[in-house]
């Protein structure tokens, strides 16, 4: 058996499967045993107070952080398997951060083509075609030649989403994608995310946008202190929370 097939377990049919995930930074235990199964096409919103481990959880899903224990599987590939081809596995996962992280010295089109060419080995023509299709999808077809600094924060974040989509990810991770935006720019970014959800993209979204979570999420997870305190349909977790810690958090953010 090759290394890749040892790490391959296609039986579950799940997009993301996390079991017993733990992560510490020194003596600080940030994730204390997270279990999460996400079906293909499912949108899961993760809410919770600052410092509860939300970003660390997302970062463990694409191994920007190395977990201390537990397993992470993405479409059957165990990312935590010692023999896994990490780069190949990561290619299945797109991530969008609070800070847009565009390449400041590249125009929008080149921001979208560079990784396609270097990582996916696409030719310039194909990479541009994919890039333009994704720019159109986020409503920025006419900005292909613009430099990032010429765009609003909301436009830059939509470019960042288009860039991630250009790598044909099977799962998209969003870490507070609208938290750095002026309020009037939030709606456009959430609109693009809503459209992606409607198209069947599997999404894990850390967000403080409770209305978005209510409208779009198939499931909401409330995290606190490195554990999932409560999870369920959005209407249940946000509308009728059962745990004291969830109620207290929601009373502060709603």
Q: Which stretch binds ligand ADP (CB under 6 A): 47-55, 157-165, 166-174, 246-254?
A: 47-55
| Nearer residue to ligand ADP within complex by CB, 1 or 28 | 28
From the list 3-11, 53-61, 86-94, 139-147, the region that binds ligand ADP by CB under 6 A is 53-61
Closer to ligand ADP by Cβ: residue 56 or 62: 56
* Crossing angle between the packed helical segments 153-165 and 183-198, to the nearest 10 degrees: 20
> Considering beta carbons, is residue 53 or 169 the nearer one to Mg ion?
53
**Cα–Cα dist 11/77, whole Å:** 10
Residue appearing with tokens 């310039």:
124
**Can residue 56 be called a binding residue for Mg ion (CB under 5 A)?**
no
What, of Mg ion, ligand ADP, none, does residue 30 touch, CB below 5 to 8 Å by kind? ligand ADP
Shortest reach from residue 59's CB to ligand ADP, in Å: 7
Query: Considering only CA atoms, which of 52, 93, 60, 61 is closest in space to residue 208?
Result: 52
**DSSP-assigned letters across all residues of 226-252:** TEEEEEE-HHHHTTS--SHHHHHHHHH
> Which residue, 32 or 170, has its beta carbon nearer to ligand ADP?
32
Question: Out of 7, 45, 48, 55, which residue is the one contacting Mg ion (CB under 5 A)?
Answer: 55
**Helix%, strand%, coil% for the chain, nearest 5:** 40, 25, 35
Is 44 near ligand ADP (CB under 6 A)? no
Q: Is 53 a binder of ligand ADP (CB under 6 A)?
A: yes
| Whole-number Å distance between alpha carbons of 185 and 232 | 29
Task: Identify the residue among 25, 118, 168, 239 touching ligand ADP (CB under 6 A).
Answer: 25
Dihedral sign from CA coordinates of 99, 86, 89, 15: negative
User: Choosing among Mg ion, ligand ADP, none, which partner's interface includes residue 10 (Cβ < 5 to 8 Å by kind)?
Assistant: none
Report the residue number, 28 or 149, with the smaller CB distance to Mg ion: 28
Interacting residues of 26 by C-beta distance below 8 A, sequence separation 6+: none
Q: Does 157 bind Mg ion (CB under 5 A)?
A: no
CA dist 78 and 14 (Å) reads: 12
Contact with ligand ADP (CB under 6 A) among 7, 43, 54, 197 = 54
Indicate if the alpha-carbon torsion angle 102, 220, 29, 80 is positive or negative: negative
Task: Output the 3-class SS for 33-58.
Answer: EEEEEECCCCEEEEECCCCCCHHHHH
Query: 84 vs 223, which CB is nearer to ligand ADP?
Result: 223
55 lies in the binding site for ligand ADP (CB under 6 A): yes
Interface residues toward Mg ion, by CB under 5 A: 55
Interface residues toward ligand ADP, by CB under 6 A: 25, 28, 30, 48, 50-56
């Amino acid at each position: 058996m090759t290394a890749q097939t040892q790490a391959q377990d296609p039986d579950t049919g799940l997009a993301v499967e996390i079991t017993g995930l733990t992560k510490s930074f020194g003596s600080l235990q940030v994730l204390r045993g997270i279990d999460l199964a996400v079906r293909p096409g499912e949108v899961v919103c993760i809410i919770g107070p600052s410092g509860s481990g939300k970003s660390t959880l997302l970062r463990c899903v694409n191994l920007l952080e190395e977990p201390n224990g537990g397993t992470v599987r993405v479409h059957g590939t165990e990312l935590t398997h010692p023999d896994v081809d990490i780069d190949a596995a990561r290619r299945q996962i797109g991530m969008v951060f609070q800070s847009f992280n565009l390449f400041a010295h590249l125009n929008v089109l080149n921001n979208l083509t560079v990784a396609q060419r270097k990582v996916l080995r696409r030719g310039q023509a194909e990479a541009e075609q994919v890039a333009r299709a994704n720019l159109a999808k986020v409503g920025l077809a006419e900005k292909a030649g613009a430099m990032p600094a010429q765009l609003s924060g909301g436009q830059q974040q939509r470019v960042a989403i288009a860039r991630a989509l250009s790598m044909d990810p099977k799962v998209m991770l969003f870490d507070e994608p609208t938290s750095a935006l002026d309020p009037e720019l939030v709606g456009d970014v959430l609109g693009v995310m809503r459209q992606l959800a409607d198209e069947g993209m599997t999404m894990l979204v850390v967000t403080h946008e409770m209305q978005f979570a209510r409208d779009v999420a198939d499931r909401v997870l409330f995290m606190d202190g490195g554990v999932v305190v409560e999870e369920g349909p959005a209407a249940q977790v946000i509308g009728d929370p059962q745990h004291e810690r969830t109620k207290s958090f929601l009373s502060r953010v709603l």
